[in-house]
Amino acid sequence: MPQSRRPVSCHCRARAAGVVTVALLAGGGACAQAADGPRWTFGGFGTVGAVHSSMKEADYSATPLSPGHAGYSRDWAFDVDSRLGAQLAVQLDRQWSGVIQVVSDRTMVDGFKPHVEWANIKYQATPDLSLRIGRIAAPMFLAADYRKASFALPWVRPPVELYSTMPITNSDGVDATYRWRTGNARHSTQLFVGSTSVPLAPEFTAHARMGGVNHSVVIGALTLGGSFAQARLKIPGAGELFDVLQRFGPQGQALVERYDVRSTRTTLLSGGFNYDPGSWFVTGEVGRVNTRSMLGDQTGAYLSAGYRFGSLTPYATLSRVRANMAVQVPGLDTVDLPPSAAALAGQANAVLNDFLREVPTQDAANVGLRWDVAPNYAVKLQYDVARPRDGSSGSLVNVQPGFRSGHAFRVFSASVDFVF
């Protein structure tokens, strides 16, 4: 395939989706095709990254489910953004195709153990209608299809103030996509339903059944997108805290009804735009994820812009996330309780508040530079300043006793992205 030194039009949905669909990788992969037989394509992507955080009372995290160790644990960490992915695709004929993608990046439970990110079969029923079954990218946010293939992004990582609110990246199920036109606008409407399991900690796994709709419109250099989904979220192993709270009368019962995570209805809503005429881009998104539980009700947003000077792309981003709920609850009334029950009530209240502090409220800004050093390689430098607010720990994990919300911290990131 032809190679070009022109930088990737980084946030164009169709172009970036092609980066991780290895059949379209520029200069990447190997292809074998027998006469009148299947066409196989292999390729992949990866990132080698280093991160330094000025915060010494906690560690910086790109997402809650992929924690890193930059800050309190060590000055420089290599596990925040680093990953490796490989993808095998087959085109059986004009209608049937399949793909499997395996990614190794840091997770909450298994470290860098490889896991299957995609594994699905596609049937092209008509030129405009396609159906898929299997493990599919969860179609929330503009970069849903390629958020782990950082080569397709202008930044070191997607803005955490938005993308960390929806850490689920895939689901097992079915979807249908219909493409249609109105005038010079190209539409794509996707309906999906599926389920997923996400380890939150060694002893807790969240199970979700979800369904929704995603719609995008492309008009020249402008892309608009929006998604709506609902999920039934269940965490069976998280009931002990709420069993305790239920013992403390109407006040405890009210906390259970508001924050219980054993079975809750979650709503996800997002919208965004990208304008990319080639020499520059401006993009922004906003999304709300309401779990109706102690896992949070959050609204995140960002606005980013950059300009391409040959192989160099400087950029800047403003982002924020807000908790649409109190991140602390008052203590239970223990005046008439015996000392042992009062102590238990205090412990339960403290545990609940510890969880609520992890619902992020944070403002952030960054500047960065992308350098396309070769057709399939990009070097990126990024400097972030973030400030958790309102008692929240923001995008920080492994919070230590000396941490104080409201104080800004700085993050410096360097990465090499590649596709093959």
Per residue in 234-260, pLDDT tens?
A: 888 777 888 889 888 888 889 998 999
Q: Are 256 and 225 in contact (CB under 8 A)?
A: no
If we measure between CA atoms, which residue out of 315, 349, 317, 316 comes closest to residue 332? 349
- Region 146-160: mean pLDDT is 95
For residue 318, CA distances in Å to 147, 266, 309, 366 come to 18, 27, 22, 7
pLDDT tens column, 391-405: 999 999 899 998 999
Q: What is the pLDDT of residue 37?
A: 81
Q: Examine the pLDDT at 416 and tell me if it is beyond 60.
A: yes
Q: Examine the pLDDT at 270 and tell me if it is beyond 80.
A: yes
Positive or negative torsion for Cα 108, 115, 147, 134: negative
Which pair of tokens denotes residue 333? 């009334």
Q: Examine the pLDDT at 30 and tell me if it is beyond 60.
A: no
Instruction: Tell me how many degrees the CA angle 203-120-115 measures, rounded to the nearest 5.
Output: 35
pLDDT tens column, 277-304: 999 999 999 999 999 999 899 999 999 9
Q: What is the pLDDT of residue 202?
A: 66
pLDDT tens column, 312-348: 999 999 999 999 988 888 888 887 788 888 888 889 8
- Region 59-79: mean pLDDT is 86
How many CA atoms lie within 13 Å of 145's alpha carbon, on the beta-carbon side? 17
Beta bridge partners, 53, equal: 411
Task: Mark residue 353 as left, alpha or beta (left: phi above 0; alpha: psi -120 to 50; beta: remaining).
Answer: alpha
Q: What is the pLDDT of residue 21?
A: 47
Identify the top-confidence range among 60-64, 70-74, 76-80, 280-284: 280-284
Please write down the HEC assignment for all residues of the chain.
Answer: CCCCCCCCCCCCHHHHHHHHCHHHCCCCCEEEECCCCCEEEEEEEEEEEEEEECCCCCEEEEECCEEEEEECCECEECCCCCEEEEEEEEECCCCEEEEEEEEEECECCCECCCEEEEEEEEEECCCCEEEEEEEEECCCCCCCCCCCCHHHCCCCCCCHHHHCCCCCCEEEEEEEEEEEEECCEEEEEEEEEEEEEEEEECCEEEEEEEEEEEEEEEECCEEEEEEEEEEEEECHHHCHHHHHHCCCHHHHHHHHHHHCCCCEEEEEEEEEEEECCCCEEEEEEEEEEECCCCCCEEEEEEEEEEECECCEEEEEEEEEEEECCCCCCCCCCCCCCCHHHHHHHHHHHHHHHHHHHCCCCEEEEEEEEEEEEECCEEEEEEEEEEEECCCCCCCEECCCCCCCCCCCEEEEEEEEEEEC
Could you tell me which residue, 263 or 217, shows the higher pLDDT? 217
Q: What is the pLDDT of residue 213?
A: 98
Q: What is the pLDDT of residue 219?
A: 98
| Structural domains for the chain | 13-419 (2.40.160.10)
Lowest mean pLDDT among 33-37, 141-145, 220-224, 346-350: 33-37
Q: What is the pLDDT of residue 272?
A: 98
Q: Are 300 and 287 in contact (CB under 8 A)?
A: yes
Q: How confident is the model at residue 110 (pLDDT cuts 50, 70, 90)?
A: low
Lowest mean pLDDT among 56-65, 279-288, 371-380: 56-65
Q: Is 407 exposed, middle or buried (0-12, 13-18, 19+ CB in 10 A)?
A: exposed
